[in-house]
Amino acid sequence: MKWAGIAYALVFALLSAPVAAQSDPKAEIAKLKPKDFPSQPIEFTVVYPAGGGMDVSARLLAKQVESLSGDRIIVNNRTGGAGMVGHSYLATQAKPDGYTVGVIASLLWGDAMLRAQGRWAYTDLEPIAYVNSDALIWVGSTEGPYKGMSIKDIVSAAKEKPNTIRVAIVPGSMWEYILDQIEANSGAKFLRVPFQGGGAGITALLGGNVDIAQGFFSEFRGYLEGGKVAPLAVAAAGRMDFLKDMPTFNEAFGGNEYLWQLVRYAVVPKGTPSDRKAYLAAAVQGAMKDPELIAEYRKQGVFFDPKLQNSNDLAADLNAYADVERQFYVKTGRLK
Amino acid sequence: MMEALNGLLTGFGVILTPANLYLCFLGSLIGTLVGVLPGVGPLAALALLLPVTFTLSPVGGLVMLSSIFYGAMYGGSTTSILLNIPGEAASVVTCFDGHQMARQGRAGPALGIAAIGSFIAGTLGVVIMTFFAPAIAAVAIRFGPPENFALMVLGLVCTLFMISGSTIKGVLMMALGFLTAAVGLDVVNGHERYTFGSVNLSGGIELLAVVIGLFGIAEILSNVETMAKSTLLADRIRGLWPSLADWRASWRPILRGSGLGFILGLVPGGGPVTAAFMSYALEKRIAAEPDRFGKGAIEGVAGPESANNSAVAGSLIPVLSLGIPSNPVTALLLGALIIQGIQPGPLFIAQRPDLFWGIVASMYIGNVFLLILNLPLVGLWVQFLRIPYRVMFPVVLLLCVVGTYSANKNVFDLWVMLGFGVGGYVLRKLEYDLAPFVIAFVLAPLLEQSLRQSLVMSPDGVMILAKRPVAALLLAASVVLTFLMFRRRTKNEGGLP
C-alpha cells in the first residue's frame, strides 16, 4: 500500500503548489529539522480505541504531518482503563526522545488530578499544538413524555418529579459533572444510567431506555439531521455553528460555569530535546493550518477554539482551562 | 420484497467492477490472515488499514473493511483447532472441541466444518439482512438493559450445563471467572476495584491475554512435558473432509448457530464473541450426550463457528441502517464512513442506496471468496501438524507473545498471559474445566452492567425485570432450565450436586 501513500503525497504536493508560492510550510518545517532526527518512525500515541473521535482526529492529523514533513508516522492505540493506561504510559514510561507524540484530549486533566494518585501530573506532558475541540451536548427524544420540551422545561420537570428522568452518563467524567452542577443549582434530581461511552447512550435513547443522551455533535449528527433526536443544549461558551437554534446551558440557566468540552491537542513527554520539540511543534502546527485538514475536521462536527488556535503560550492557556476544572473538583469535594 | 430485490440488483451493479471485486477479495484474504494470526484481531487490522481506505472510493473502502471483519471469523478457527490458541476472541470456544478433534486426527473435518458452517451462516445472515434490515433494526434497538441482563442470565444458566466432570469444580471455576472479571473500573461509578493501586489493573484484565495464556501457553506446557513423541499428532490424521456422519451431526447446530448469532449480533452489547459462547452453551444444553462436549464433538465447532459469522451480518444492520455501532469493530466501520464524509444514520439507506446495497452485495461475493480461499487451505493446515513439536513450540510461543502484545502494546499483558498459562496448566492437572471460567469472565461485565443499569432506570427496583415482557420471558426460561438441571444432576449423581 506504500505506493498509494506516495501517489497521494505527490498529488497533494501538486495541488498545494500554488499556495506554496506564498509561504511554503514544507520549507519552514524543513528549516527546523534537527540533523539526526528522525531516524525511525515517530509514534502518535492515542490512548483511546481505534475508530473513536480521538483516533480519527489523530489519524487525519498523522496523514497530514507525514505529507508535510516527509517523516514516517505510526498511530498507536495504547488503550485500557478508559485512557488511564495510555496517559500513564505517556507521562511516566515514554522516552522523551521526540519519537513519541501524544495526541490526547483534555480528559488527561481529570485522570491526572483524580486518578493518578500523585504518580504523575498533567504537566509531565508538554503541549506542542492545539488540534480541535468538541463540546458536550444534550439531546432528547422526539417521542414520549418529554417531546418538544426545552432544557429548562426538562430541568423543572426533574425538580417537580425527582428521580424520574433518565439521563445516560459515562461514570466519573464530565457527563456526570454537568449533572452535578445542574442538580446543585436547580434542586432537580435525575436518574443516572451508566454507559461505556456516548454511542451506547444514544442507542438507549433511540430505544426508549433513557430520556436524555449526552455526547458530542459528531456522534449525534446523523440522528439530528434525520430528526430522530431533539437538540437540547450545549455546554460551550457560545452556540454551535452547526446548530444555531440550540441554546447553551449558560444561556438557559443564566450561569457561566456550564463549560464542558473536550480539547484535543498534541504533547511530547517532558524532557524532549528542545530542537526536536520545536520541529515536531512546527510540523503539527503546520498541518493544522492546512485547509483540507480543517475541512475534514469540520465535516466530523468538531470546532476550533479561537483562544487556543491563536495562542502565543499554549501551555499557559491550557493550564488555565485545567485550573477551572481543578476548582470544580475542589468545590465538589472530589479533590482536596 | 421487490424493493429489496431491486436494491440488491443495484448493489451487484455497484460491486461487479474489477476494482471493487479486487478489494473484496483483498479484504477476504487479509481477514483470513488476521483471523489465523492470534492476537491480531479484526479491530486491530481495521485500525491499521483505515488510512489506506482514505484514498479509495467510499464503496471500495467499506467493502474491504467489512470483508476483513467477516473474513477474520473464517480464519479465527484455524489456530484454535490446530494449536489450541484462539485466533481471535470469537474463536475461543472452538478450542474446546476443535483442538480435541485435531488430537484425534480429525483436524481436517474440524477445519472443513468450520469453513462450511461459516459460509452457510454468513450467507444466511446476508439474506436476512437483504430483506429485513430496516425493520429488524427498529426492533433490536428496543433491547435495553433489562433484556440484556435476562439474556446474560440465560447464557450463564446454559453454562452450568456445560460443566463436565465435577459440578463443584465447575461452579468454582465460574466464580473465579466472575471475580477475575470484577478487576478494574466499576462500570457504574468509575471507582477502581481490586487494582491494588496498579495502573495496569485499572483497565481490567485483558480477555485476549487470559485466553492465550489459559489455552496457548498451558497447551505448550502440557505438550512439552510429553515431548517424547516427535509430532503433535503423529500420523493419526484421519480424513480431510467431514464425513456423512459429521454432516448429520452438524447441520442443525449450523442452522441454530446462524439464527442465534444473528440475533446476538443485532442487539446492543452483543457481537461475535458472545454469540460463539452462547451457541456452544446451547449446543451442549440440547445435545443427547452432553458428555461428548470438550472431547471432540463436532457440534461444538459447527455451532459457534456459524454463530460468530452470522453475528457479523447481524451487527452490520444497526450500524448501516441506524448508524448505531453495537461493538468496537462496527464503531470503527462507522468511523471509516465518517472520514469518507458520509454520516450513517436513519437516512443512510435512502440517501446512499449505492453504498448500502453495494456492501450487502459484496457480502454475498465475499463469503464465496472466503469459502474458496479456506477449503483448499484445510489440506495445507493439516500438514502443519506433521512438523515435529520441538520445532513447532517455539513458533507457537512466539505467536502467543506477539499476539498478546500487539492487542494493547502493553507489556503487563504478557505477564498476565504467563500467569494464566501456568495457572491453566495447574488447573488442567487438577482436572478443572476451563470453559466455565472463560464464559463467566466474558459474560460477567455485561451481566453486571445491565443489571445495575436496569436498577438505576427502574422506579421500583427489581420489578423492572418482571414488567418488561421480553426480559420476564427470558428469566422464566432460565428458572425452568435451572430446575431441570438440578433434577438431572441429582438423578445422575444420586445426591445433591
Per-residue pLDDT tens over the stretch B393-428:
888 888 888 878 877 778 899 999 999 999 999 998
pLDDT band at B494 (very low <50, low <70, confident <90, very high): very low
- List, for residues B77-111, the tens digit of each pLDDT value: 888 888 888 877 788 889 889 988 988 888 889 99
Which residues pair with residue A263 across a beta bridge? A133
pLDDT of residue A17: 46
Does the beta-carbon distance from A200 to B268 stay under 8 Å?
yes
**Average of per-residue pLDDT across B195-216:** 83
Does position B2 have pLDDT exceeding 80, yes or no?
Answer: no
Distance from CA of A143 to the nearest CA of B (A): 14
Tell whether A111 is within 8 A of chain B (Cβ).
no
Picking from B50, B333, B347, the nearest residue to A225 by CB comes out as B347
Report the distance separating Cα B9 and Cα B317, nearest Å: 19
Count structural domains, chain B.
1
Higher pLDDT, A254 or A300: A254
Residues of B in contact with A84 (CB under 8 A): 199, 202-203
- List, for residues B62-71, the tens digit of each pLDDT value: 899 999 988 8
Report the distance separating Cα B273 and Cα B90, nearest Å: 4
Q: How far is CA A126 from CA A16, A272, A318, B23, in A?
A: 31, 9, 10, 42
Does the beta-carbon distance from B202 to A80 stay under 8 Å?
yes
Picking from B49, B144, B333, the nearest residue to A209 by CB comes out as B144
- List, for residues A37-79, the tens digit of each pLDDT value: 999 899 999 988 766 678 888 988 998 999 999 998 988 888 7
Burial B56-87 (b: 16+ CB within 10 A, else e): bbbbbbbbbbbbbbbbbbbbbbbbbbbbbbbb
Report the distance separating Cα B445 and Cα B126, nearest Å: 30
**Average of per-residue pLDDT across B278-303:** 87
Tell whether B325 is within 8 A of chain A (Cβ).
yes
DSSP annotation of A191 = E
Tell whether B134 is within 8 A of chain A (Cβ).
no
Higher pLDDT, B155 or B282: B282
Picking from A60, A62, A194, the nearest residue to B452 by CB comes out as A194
Does position A30 have pLDDT exceeding 50, yes or no?
Answer: yes
Residues 6+ apart with CB under 8 A from B173: B163, B427, B432, B433, B434, B436, B437, B440
pLDDT of residue B310: 92
pLDDT band at B495 (very low <50, low <70, confident <90, very high): very low
pLDDT of residue B272: 86
Residues of B in contact with A52 (CB under 8 A): 331, 335
Residues 138-167 of A with CB under 8 A from B: 163-164, 166
HEC assignment per residue over A20-61: HCCCCHHHHHHHHCCCCCCCCCEEEEECCCCCCHHHHHHHHH
Q: Which residue of B has its CA nearest to A202?
A: B324
Q: Which residue of B has its CA nearest to A57?
A: B339
Give residue for cell 454469540: B275
Report the distance separating Cα B471 and Cα B34, nearest Å: 37
Which set of grid coordinates corresponds to residue B28? 477476504
pLDDT of residue B496: 42
Distance from CA of B251 to the nearest CA of A (A): 35
pLDDT band at A214 (very low <50, low <70, confident <90, very high): very high
Residues 203-262 of A with CB under 8 A from B: 203-204, 206-210, 218, 221-223, 225-226, 228
Does position A10 have pLDDT exceeding 90, yes or no?
Answer: no
Higher pLDDT, A172 or A307: A307
Task: Return the number of other C-beta atoms located less than 10 Å from residue A273's C-beta.
Answer: 14
What does the angle CA B363 – CA B368 – CA B373 come to, to the nearest 5 degrees?
A: 120
Tell whether A294 is within 8 A of chain B (Cβ).
no
Report the distance separating Cα B422 and Cα B427, nearest Å: 9
Tell whether B52 is within 8 A of chain A (Cβ).
yes
Distance from CA of B497 to the nearest CA of A (A): 37
Tell whether A78 is within 8 A of chain B (Cβ).
yes
Tell whether A109 is within 8 A of chain B (Cβ).
no
Q: Where are chain A's structural domains?
A: 25-133+262-331, 135-253
Q: Which residue of B has its CA nearest to A62?
A: B51
Picking from A80, A166, A194, the nearest residue to B203 by CB comes out as A80
The answer to whether the A25-133+262-331 and A135-253 domains have the same CATH topology is yes
Which set of grid coordinates corresponds to residue A268? 511530547
Question: In this predicted complex, what is the ipTM?
Answer: 0.72
pLDDT of residue A144: 85
- List, for residues B424-440, the tens digit of each pLDDT value: 999 988 988 887 888 78
pLDDT of residue A329: 92
Does position A227 have pLDDT exceeding 90, yes or no?
Answer: no
DSSP annotation of A303 = B
* Segments forming the whole domain that contains residue B370: 2-493
pLDDT band at A21 (very low <50, low <70, confident <90, very high): very low
- List, for residues B316-371, the tens digit of each pLDDT value: 888 887 777 767 788 778 777 877 777 776 777 877 888 889 999 999 999 999 99
Q: Is residue B134 a contact partner of residue B456, using CB atoms and an 8 Å limit?
A: no
% chain A with pLDDT above 70: 91
pLDDT of residue B242: 87
Does the beta-carbon distance from B43 to A50 stay under 8 Å?
yes
Distance from CA of A177 to the nearest CA of B (A): 12
pLDDT of residue A6: 53
Report the distance separating Cα B209 and Cα B207, nearest Å: 6
**Average of per-residue pLDDT across A121-142:** 94
% chain A with pLDDT above 90: 52
Higher pLDDT, B439 or A128: A128
End-to-end alpha carbon distance in chain B: 53
Q: Which CATH number is A25-133+262-331 given?
A: 3.40.190.150
pLDDT band at A16 (very low <50, low <70, confident <90, very high): very low
Mean of the per-residue pLDDT values for chain A? 87
Does position B229 have pLDDT exceeding 60, yes or no?
Answer: no
Does the beta-carbon distance from A172 to B190 stay under 8 Å?
yes
pLDDT of residue A45: 94
Picking from B328, B339, B346, the nearest residue to A56 by CB comes out as B339
The SS3 assignment for B157 reads: helix
- List, for residues B433-468, the tens digit of each pLDDT value: 887 888 788 888 888 888 998 998 887 888 888 888
Q: Is residue B188 a contact partner of residue B456, using CB atoms and an 8 Å limit?
A: yes
- List, for residues B239-258, the tens digit of each pLDDT value: 778 889 999 999 999 999 99
pLDDT of residue B215: 82
Does the beta-carbon distance from B144 to A193 stay under 8 Å?
no
Residues 22-41 of A with CB under 8 A from B: none
Picking from A52, A75, A76, the nearest residue to B331 by CB comes out as A52
Does position A295 have pLDDT exceeding 80, yes or no?
Answer: yes
**Average of per-residue pLDDT across B167-180:** 89
pLDDT of residue B240: 73
**A135-253, what's its fold?**
D-Maltodextrin-Binding Protein; domain 2 (3.40.190)
Residues 427-456 of B with CB under 8 A from A: 449, 452-453, 456
Distance from CA of A302 to the nearest CA of B (A): 12
Does the beta-carbon distance from B346 to A228 stay under 8 Å?
yes
pLDDT of residue B251: 92
pLDDT band at B158 (very low <50, low <70, confident <90, very high): confident
DSSP string, A76-132: EE---GGGHHHHHIIIIIS-SSSSEEEEEETHHHHIIIIISTTS--GGGEEEEEEEE
